[in-house]
Structure 1
Amino acid sequence: MKAIILAGGESRRFGTPKAFAKIQGEYFFEKIYQTLVSTNMFSDIIISTNETLAAQFEGYRTVVDHPAHKNKGPLSGLYSIMSQDDNDFYFVISVDTPMVTDKAISQLYQFLISNLIEEQLIIAGYKANNRPIPTIAFYHKAALPKIESALNSDDYSMRHVYQSVSTDWLDVNDVEGPSYWHRNINFQEELTSLEAEIE
């Protein structure tokens, strides 16, 4: 099983590439990478990024967006990796969720396994306030045709995909740990607030 860190966004609202923002002295992407390593679950960890940022991830495995689908958001990153790989399941995490925990990842995997056969799941992820978080989720390669279809349409949203396949969502509150573990950082002020909360 492999993991994908989505780190190809332009970070317009944040102002600088979020992959290289720091929290607790570490780049966002490094913190997530080390958390993924600590689970001992993944044979490979791939950073999905764009041509501009790729060279900055020296020493890490990166895949840039397929030319036909670049600048089309997270789905482009998933397509670019899944279309050239033969793995069944991929854990997908957005780089702007730096406080994700190994416990949360492991618990979601157990949730996936316990529901996989009965529900024939294609996507298993987290939800907050009953809203899916498609960027903290496991994706089966069977989602690839739907991802490609979305990329070829005018709707590049992840909702386009997860509403058209079998899914199940685990509530973020079911995970023991700090309430901010799934916090998504879009603005500098949110990072400042999160750092204050952590301290």
Structure 2
Amino acid sequence: MIGIVLAGGQSRRYGSPKAFAKFRGKYFYEYAMDALASHCSEIIIIARPEDVDRFPDAVTVVTDILEFAGQGPLAGILTGMCTIKSDWYAVLPCDVPFADGLIIQKLVNHRAGFTSVAIEEAGKLHPLLSLWSKEAEFEIRSLLEQEKRSVRPLIEKWVDGSDLLKETPNLFENVNRPGQLEGR
């Protein structure tokens, strides 16, 4: 399985690239990489062109494929699929620093028979905490060609992740503004 870290967003509300925000001395993108590491043979970061050189040389970083550049997370997922071939892809955004490998394991446990699975908890959908089969590539490309960018319609199965909150209550927290994690 290949890990895809989505780090190419605009970060409008945050004010600067979230991938390079720090929490407890560690960059946000490093948290995503750590969560993927035990499940993935390789990890690729999808970033904005102006941020590529900010990552260490040891990290595989690419930008969106040209025909869909800047078209959101779906373009990032497709870029990862086109960059490194695999049967499965585990996707995490860089702005969910409490995400861990238990999320990926839960998704792996529920992927049989589906081309995409994502986390939901208490009615809240987390489409970017997801797994994608290579079989989804054609449909992703087709939607992007139609200028449709929503990830949610492509998720075939929503996996209840509520039980994972017992260990880490903030597991699914998305960081959207500076200072959101102060005091933790």
**TM-score normalised by the chain length of structure 2:** 0.91
Q: Does 1:33 align with 2:38?
A: no
Q: Which residue of 1 aligns with 2:60?
A: 61
Once the 2 structures are TM-superposed, how far is the Cα of residue 174 of structure 1 from its aligned partner?
1.8
Q: Encode CA deviations 1:53-100: one digit per residue, 9 max, x unaligned.
A: 111112200121111111100111111121243201100000011111
Distance 1:26 1:169 in 2: 30
* Structure 2 CA distance for partners of 1:84 and 1:23, relative to 1, 3 Å: closer
Q: Which residue of 2 aligns with 1:13?
A: 13
41, 44, 49: which one aligns with 1:51: 49
Q: Which residue of 1 aligns with 2:82?
A: 83
Task: Provide the aligned length of Structure 1 versus Structure 2.
Answer: 182
Does the CA-based 8 Å contact 2:98-2:168 persist in structure 1? no
Once the 2 structures are TM-superposed, how far is the Cα of residue 160 of structure 1 from its aligned partner?
3.9
Distance 1:108 1:10 in 2: 27
Once the 2 structures are TM-superposed, how far is the Cα of residue 129 of structure 1 from its aligned partner?
2.8
Once the 2 structures are TM-superposed, how far is the Cα of residue 108 of structure 1 from its aligned partner?
2.4
Describe the SS at the equivalent of 1:107: helix
In structure 2, the gaps of 5 or more residues are: none
Q: Does 1:70 align with 2:69?
A: yes
Moved more, 3-12 or 96-105: 96-105
Once the 2 structures are TM-superposed, how far is the Cα of residue 102 of structure 1 from its aligned partner?
2.0
Once the 2 structures are TM-superposed, how far is the Cα of residue 159 of structure 1 from its aligned partner?
2.2
* Structure 2 CA distance for partners of 1:88 and 1:13, relative to 1, 3 Å: same
Distance 1:55 1:177 in 2: 36
Once the 2 structures are TM-superposed, how far is the Cα of residue 35 of structure 1 from its aligned partner?
2.8
Q: Which residue of 2 aligns with 1:172?
A: 161
Q: Which residue of 1 aligns with 2:172?
A: 182
Once the 2 structures are TM-superposed, how far is the Cα of residue 12 of structure 1 from its aligned partner?
0.8
**TM-score normalised by the chain length of structure 1:** 0.85
Flag the structure with higher helix content: 1
Q: Does 1:122 align with 2:115?
A: yes
Describe the SS at the equivalent of 2:31: helix
Distance 2:81 2:35 in 1: 22
Describe the SS at the equivalent of 1:52: helix
Distance 2:24 2:127 in 1: 25
Distance 2:73 2:64 in 1: 10
Q: Encode CA deviations 1:162-190: one digit per residue, 9 max, x unaligned.
A: 3xxxx2222221214121011111122xx
Moved more, 2-11 or 55-64: 55-64
Distance 1:84 1:16 in 2: 26
Taking every aligned residue pair, what percent have the same amino acid on both sides?
30
Q: Encode CA deviations 1:93-150: one digit per residue, 9 max, x unaligned.
A: 00011111222222222232xxx1xxx2011110133243111010011111111112
Distance 1:6 1:42 in 2: 15
Does the CA-based 8 Å contact 1:125-1:133 persist in structure 2? yes
Q: Which residue of 2 aligns with 1:194?
A: 181
Does the CA-based 8 Å contact 1:91-1:137 persist in structure 2? yes
